[in-house]
Structure 1
Amino acid sequence: MANQNNDSILDFRDICTKQKIVIHEGLLWKYLDTPYSIPPLSQYNPETCKISYTIKEYSIQGKLLNKDYKNIRKIQLKHDKKSSFGLHLCLNQMGNKEVAVFEVNPNLRKSIIQLETENECQDIPIIQFIESKYRNILDQPQIWIIEVHDIEEMEDNEKLTLEERQQRVKQLKPQAGQLFKEKKFQEAIQVYKTLYAKIGQIPKALKNKMTQEQKTFFQIELSRVFSNQAICYLQLQDYTKAIETSKQAMNEWDQNFKAYFIYAKAHFERGQTSEALEYFQQIIKKFPNEDVTEVQLYLQKCKQIKTTKSEQELYKKIFERLQDKDEDDIQREQKEKFEKVEKNRQTEKILISAKNGQSINHEEIQKLQ
């Protein structure tokens, strides 16, 4: 989240001096112009939109209470009742790409019972986001910092025409590309999943009416949706999903050069050098008209790793042979030393016998020589 360097503890003393507006009398307020606030890029209609957001819940002392604050949630305020009523009130006050700070009275949750009685808020359950170890401070005020990541206009996918689907592609692709440039890979993946709903889930009756040109357009665009997701997963170092989605892209359109490259690169990053080497070689053969400079660089890396491993195996075998040879030499030297000592001992014995006047066996003397 913008402007935040410490996710665990924040100093809210400055925030509490800022001007705030009442959202729900005595229960919920929105602070204005805090160090953590970012103004909206545009407004949206909560009745017709699905909102992607993250929420950080802090104690009034500045302690972060929810460990899953990085998880992007989606909610449609008109229909989605799987969230707390206070969150609905907050999101109703926000615009697209806005980051806002709220003060929450602990009685807000308790007030739901009264609201349900008054038929203002039917059947909305209370869901706590915070970790169980902090439940003991639920009776204290909280600070919520909410960020709106994306707004998706709700529409009946079954009723979209082919022309409307093509228009959605033109609208959503630049959004995803911009998120990727900003290194917001998770958010980009969500946009690509929205794109998949528009062009990858076309009703059969509509498919049957497609011209060949339209079939080609949606086939290629769907392949690109998958390969662009794969790039995001690659950046997130989720190599398994990068391989899965790039494979889907290849299956949709066999000429997706990017998909083949990501597929090979993900195997390389996962340490599967032999497989990656094979895939990089296939790419060069399959796409002779593409710029394969980067592919060749990875191909050389694979070969170097493979050569290094081969050399290591060769050196290991040579070393083992040298060890064996050294042991043979040691045994040979020991045998030669023993034989030399034995010859000297036998020679000395013969000389002593001759000195004592005993006869000498000349054949034995010749053997010792």
Structure 2
Amino acid sequence: MRVLVCPDKFAGTISAVDAAEAFAAGWHDARPGDELILRPLSDGGPGFAGVLAAALPHARVLTVPATDPLGRPAEGHVVLDGTTAYVESAETCGLHLLTGNLTGNLTGNLTGDLTCDERDPKHTTTFGLGTLLLAAVEAGATTLVVGLGGSGTNDGGAGLLAALGAAPLGAAGYALPYGGAALIDCVSLGGVPRLREATVIAATDVDSPLLGLRGASAVYGPQKGATREDVFLLDAALTRFADVLQTLPTAPPGLADLPGSGAAGGLGAALLALGARVESGIGLVRRLTLLDAEMEEVSLVVTGEGAFDEQSLRGKVVAGVANAARDLGVPCVVVAGRVDAGRREAASIGVTEAHALVEHFGSVAEALARPADGLRELGGRLALQWSR
């Protein structure tokens, strides 16, 4: 058999690359003669830059000194392929860069109370991402592709704009502090963003608007440490900031209502205000990694992620892979940390069957602690199953 293994990351536990390798190792334990093709994927979130750096044969990677969501020194990367630069927002804005502890009942589903030391979207900033974009432009890039996802920020891209020379200002004309909460006092921008007229593409599969019940603050704020009161404050602050963004000459009408404007804590809104177009993250990665062509030559496709749930059905990696496999008539198996999507819903996007590490181990704690072991064991089991 020829098997294509193309998972996303298992958020918080194992990278896409390591997940693919662990599953393949288990399959080869059981079926050493089979050929496995490994294509780790990303929909724009964590792992985006690494996936493309490995997939693009002529790409070169620049290491750039930057800052994390709290302004501390961090390291980011710009993947250059000709005059196109690929940048991953999570490298400088990612939630994984901030400390926080998941406590509570972990005997059933992945539930618990997030006790946060650093995760506070009222104060975290996207400034570091602006540093990466400036480095890309200085390196000669004329097209900037920004992968959005996995952020620990909710500042509407205010920090990004500050790094580009357009800091949010208060009524007194002074630059506001970092973070989403301070934007409640924003009245203008202190300059014009400096990107040398580069074309900007926002790579995301989040279609959320910026504001309201489906917006950045309400849907994703609690995952980043926001309390109920914080969500109301942040949404009000982004409402104010959206009016300021609308003053940029490149901002489209009705920016705050556009799909994707709420991606990555509102980073999508700032990029749209810079004239960006939104493109499907998994669609872009599929195209650049030649994934569909690989599918035409295999007997089985295996994909996966940390949680295969309702969000997975709305354009995430698993949905993109399963849709492509279905169109080609190739069976698609999902291996995930946990499986919450129903069989009918999964089948509707092209998933043949789904397997969960939680069920394999019989314990959420074990699934979190030993994802590589579980993927290897499932790989061996599925190899024997599908060989029949």
TM-score clears 0.5: no
- TM-score with structure 1 setting the length: 0.26
Structure in which a larger fraction of residues adopt helix: 1
Which of the two has greater strand per residue?
A: 2
| Bigger RCO of structures 1 and 2 (CA < 8 A, at least 6 apart) | 2
Bigger Rg, structure 1 or 2: 1
TM-score normalised per structure 2: 0.25
